[in-house]
Amino acid sequence: MYHVRNNRRLTRQLTAHVCARPAIIVDLCDAAAFIDMYGGRTQLWVTAETAVKCADRNPRLIDQATKTLENALRREGMLD
């Protein structure tokens, strides 16, 4: 699992439906943990993981990381 050094809030809260209780993703640490637990090694999830890593290093990329994670969740059917 990727260890986030500079935990930043995402531009919007994401609620993923993966089990009886929804997973609420509000920052980079939540995103990294969610990707580690539920994301596979497909191109979709690798892209989301890379976006989180880049946003950890560069705060200007937080919006792009949010959009990339949201896209991965939507394609996997985990987001309404």
Which sequence spans correspond to the domains of the chain? 9-75
Give per-residue burial for 3-39: e unless 16+ CB within 10 Å, then b. Answer: ebeeebebeeebebeeeeeebebeebbbbbebbeebb
Which one-letter amino acid corresponds to residue 43? Q
pLDDT of residue 61: 98
Q: Render pLDDT for 19-75 as a digit per residue (tens, 0 to 9).
A: 888 999 999 999 999 999 999 889 999 999 999 999 999 999 999 999 999 999 999
Yes or no: say if 10 and 28 are a contact pair by the CB < 8 Å rule: yes
The overall longest dimension of the chain from CA atoms, in Å, is: 34
pLDDT at 5 over 80: yes
The pLDDT assigned to 25 comes to 97
